[in-house]
């Protein structure tokens, strides 16, 4: 039986387009190395769907989103982008193309929400009922997961034209019995990362398990002195500078950078984000010049590049940025050494301790020589300091 998958990604974004310097679709955002979109496509492939098409919304106001989506999509799926106005028409066209291509059933999933449905059960249920369209639900809530008979184009068309809100014919419901995360905002995104790292989901972090509970993807650079405490994830091409601490289910996504001495605790650092040196990032989703603090339940813009910045999305730009940094570094070092005040050298501890106090020196019967000179020669680095005089 020819069953094909159609994935739709639009709607919820991280950061609103009007106020954020950049925003990204939640479903296309990396979580522990892969987006919900990639994970869903992977799951569909596991259930034997050979052909999968993805329709993703793009827009001129989303500066980074295009890069994130294009870079993060499942590479072996048919990838179609559409503007918000034409999104549903493009989705309908993609469905029709599948039907014309010989598909018998089309499994349609819209992200936002990430779920782990049993597609085999869904198809079986659909066939058993002889339905035109079958929908999945979670309790009383209808999920945007459908199984559509490809020959029923009118039913599909009505579904697409009402933005999956209404079905023309009777639509039986099948209860979801797997994992569900609404991915409605930063809180859910964070929860998704925690669930992946604590293995509450079937899907796993996209990296090698370097130590139990610590996943590091290829190309990640963990400098000497940086610490990763399990469970944690470091994405491909991410960089942890010396002294950085990653702990409590934190996820550093691909090409993100955590600078020296920064503590990332129970937080997600979004792809291509830079977190400045000496910071304390806790209970947050950070990136794209914003921090969504989950404890305070606020989302604030951080316009200072010293604290939070955006890494260049392409490798060429990253190389140029690194080269520019290198070029600036040497002149700055020369400038600092030439014009900054030299530190006064601290007196050596040994020399200071061996100095005879002027008062003690003048006192009678005061001996400054050690009782056993040979012992002093044997342990030249040993110092005995007494707080109160020579007694």
Enumerate binding residues for another protein (CB under 8 A): 276, 278-282, 291, 293, 296, 298, 300-304, 306-307
Q: At its nearest, how many Å lie between another protein and the CB of residue 162? A: 38
Q: At its nearest, how many Å lie between another protein and the CB of residue 266? A: 13
Q: At its nearest, how many Å lie between another protein and the CB of residue 51? A: 45
Q: Is the peptide bond between 231 and the residue preceding it cis, with omega within 30 degrees of 0?
A: yes
Q: At its nearest, how many Å lie between another protein and the CB of residue 136? A: 38
Q: Select 174 or 263, whichever has its Cβ closest to another protein.
A: 263
Q: Select 97 or 265, whichever has its Cβ closest to another protein.
A: 265
Q: Measured between alpha carbons, how far is 58 from 9 in angstroms, rounded to an integer? A: 10
Q: Measured between alpha carbons, how far is 179 from 35 in angstroms, rounded to an integer? A: 16
Q: Select 236 or 301, whichever has its Cβ closest to another protein.
A: 301
Q: At its nearest, how many Å lie between another protein and the CB of residue 263? A: 9
Q: At its nearest, how many Å lie between another protein and the CB of residue 302? A: 7
Q: Select 300 or 376, whichever has its Cβ closest to another protein.
A: 300
Q: At its nearest, how many Å lie between another protein and the CB of residue 300? A: 5
Q: Select 29 or 307, whichever has its Cβ closest to another protein.
A: 307
Q: Select 235 or 276, whichever has its Cβ closest to another protein.
A: 276
Q: Measured between alpha carbons, how far is 318 from 335 in angstroms, rounded to an integer? A: 26
Q: Select 224 or 295, whichever has its Cβ closest to another protein.
A: 295
Enter the tokens of residue 359. 């008062």
Q: Select 194 or 291, whichever has its Cβ closest to another protein.
A: 291
Q: At its nearest, how many Å lie between another protein and the CB of residue 276? A: 8
Written in H, E and C, the secondary structure of the chain is CCEEEEEEECCCEECCCCCCCCCEEHHHCEECCEEHHHHHHHHHHHCCCCCEEEEEECCCCCCCHHHHHHHHCCCCCEEEEECCCCHHHHHHHHHHHHHHCCCCEEEEEEECCEECCCHHHHHHHHHHHCCCEEEEEECCEEEEEEEEECCCHHHHHHHHHCCCCCCCCCCCEEECCCCEECCCCHHHHHHHHHHHHCCCCCCCCCCEEEECCEEECCCCEECCCCEECCCEEECCCCEECCCCEEECCEEECCCCEECCCCEEECCEECCCEEECCCCEEECEEEECCEEEECCCCEEEECCCCCCEEECCCCHHHHHHHHHHHHHHHHHHHHHHHHHCCCCCCCCCHHHHHHCCCHHHHHCCCCCCCCCCHHHHHHCCCCCCCCCCCCC
Q: At its nearest, how many Å lie between another protein and the CB of residue 275? A: 9
Q: Select 80 or 301, whichever has its Cβ closest to another protein.
A: 301
The answer to whether the CB of 243 falls within 8 A of the CB of 277 is: no
């Amino acid at each position: 039986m020819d069953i094909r998958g159609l994935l739709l990604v639009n709607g919820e974004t991280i950061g609103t387009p009007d106020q954020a310097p950049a925003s990204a679709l939640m479903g296309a955002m990396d979580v522990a190395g892969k987006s919900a979109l990639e994970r869903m496509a992977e799951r569909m492939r596991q259930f034997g769907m050979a052909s999968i098409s993805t329709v993703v919304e793009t827009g001129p106001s989303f500066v980074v989103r295009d890069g994130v989506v294009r870079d993060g999509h499942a590479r072996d799926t048919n990838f179609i982008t559409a503007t918000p106005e034409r999104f549903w028409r493009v989705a309908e066209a993609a469905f029709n193309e599948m039907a014309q291509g010989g598909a018998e059933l089309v499994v349609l999933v819209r992200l936002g929400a990430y779920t782990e449905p049993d597609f085999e059960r869904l198809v079986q249920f659909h066939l058993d009922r002889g339905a035109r369209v079958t929908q999945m639900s979670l309790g009383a809530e209808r999920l945007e997961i459908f199984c559509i008979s490809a020959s029923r184009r009118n039913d599909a068309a009505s579904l697409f034209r009402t933005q999956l809100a209404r079905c023309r014919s009777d639509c039986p419901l099948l209860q979801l019995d797997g994992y569900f995360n609404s991915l409605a905002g930063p809180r859910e995104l964070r929860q998704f990362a925690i669930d992946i790292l604590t293995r509450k989901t079937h899907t796993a972090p996209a990296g090698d398990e370097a130590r139990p509970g610590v996943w590091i993807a290829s190309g990640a650079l963990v400098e000497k002195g940086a610490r990763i405490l399990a469970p944690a994830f470091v994405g491909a091409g991410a960089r942890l500078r010396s002294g950085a601490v990653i702990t409590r289910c934190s996820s550093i996504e691909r090409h993100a950078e955590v600078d020296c001495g920064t503590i990332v605790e129970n937080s997600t650092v979004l792809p291509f984000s830079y977190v400045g040196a000496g910071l304390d990032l806790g209970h947050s989703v950070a990136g794209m010049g914003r921090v969504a603090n989950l404890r305070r339940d606020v989302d604030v813009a951080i316009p200072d590049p010293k604290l939070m910045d955006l890494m260049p999305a392409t490798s060429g730009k990253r190389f140029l940025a690194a080269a520019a940094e290198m070029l600036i570094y040497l002149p700055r070092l020369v400038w600092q050494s030439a014009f900054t005040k030299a530190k006064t050298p601290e007196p050596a501890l040994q020399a200071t301790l061996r100095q005879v106090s002027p008062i003690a020196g003048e006192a009678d019967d005061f001996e400054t020589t050690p009782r056993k000179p040979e012992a002093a020669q044997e342990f030249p680095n040993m110092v005995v300091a007494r707080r109160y005089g020579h007694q």
